[in-house]
Amino acid sequence: MIAHLEGMVVEKRDGAVVIDVNGVGYLLHVSGTTLATLPPGARVRLRTYMHVREDALDLFGFSTEEEEAVFRELIGVKNVGPRAAQNILSGIEPRDLAAAVASGDVARLTKVPGIGKKTAERLVVELKDKLATLARAASPRPGAHKGGIGEQLEQALVGLGYRPQQATLAVEALAGATEGRTLDDLLREALKRLRG
């Protein structure tokens, strides 16, 4: 199984991207959100999911661990295949999807291209518990400074499955070292600390 690919973006297509990895071009199906973040000629690293069928071998790419996790939950739902899951993620952010599922907001879900009423109801029933942690991370905490990098880091850690208390402690441990650093950089360091 291919867990990730790192290489240069050589071509962008509708719903897909070609990544050159040491002279081999890999076609990855990606969501519209991920596609928008991939500038041609840039060196990127994408998480991947390989879907094997009798007549095809498809790779799906994700710019974040969160997007991949939601994708994997989506394809576990009856009648939602990898292409449909990727289309859904093109129409709604993973956290917004999780929040809509957690609140049972069928009307919000049916506004996403590719989700009809029956599919929306099925998503709510089958994914409500599985996406609960991500939905909580999508909800702003009372009293939290909205948009602060510490809050964003904490929400990202909770979204990745860490308990809120663990996320808070990790953020507090990095409190003096956030100046001028990106969220991705801080997230990597927090994950190293949490994994020991």
Mean pLDDT, all residues of the chain: 84
Closest CA to 1 of 65, 51, 75: 51
Which single residue is written with the structure tokens 């003096």? 176
Please report the pLDDT score of residue 139 as a whole number: 54
The dotted CATH code for 4-62 is 2.40.50.140
Closest CA to 183 of 160, 165, 161, 157: 157
Q: How far apart, in whole angstroms, are the C-alpha atoms of residue 116 and residue 102? A: 17
| Predicted confidence (pLDDT) per residue in 8-55, tens digit | 999 999 899 999 999 999 999 999 889 988 888 989 999 999 999 888
| Predicted confidence (pLDDT) per residue in 118-164, tens digit | 999 999 999 988 887 666 655 544 434 335 777 788 888 877 777 77
| Predicted confidence (pLDDT) per residue in 71-115, tens digit | 999 999 988 999 999 999 988 888 888 888 888 889 989 998 888
Average pLDDT over residues 60-68: 92
Query: In terms of CATH architecture, what is 141-195?
Result: Orthogonal Bundle (1.10)
DSSP string, 12-78: EETTEEEEEETTEEEEEE--HHHHHT--TT-EEEEEEEEEE-SS-EEEEEESSHHHHHHHHHHTTST
| Domain layout of the chain by residue ranges | 4-62, 65-134, 141-195
CATH label, 65-134, candidates 3.40.190.10, 3.40.50.150, 3.30.2320.80, 1.10.150.20 = 1.10.150.20
pTM of the predicted model, to two decimals? Answer: 0.66
- What is the rounded end-to-end Cα distance, in angstroms, of the chain? 26
Please report the pLDDT score of residue 180 as a whole number: 74
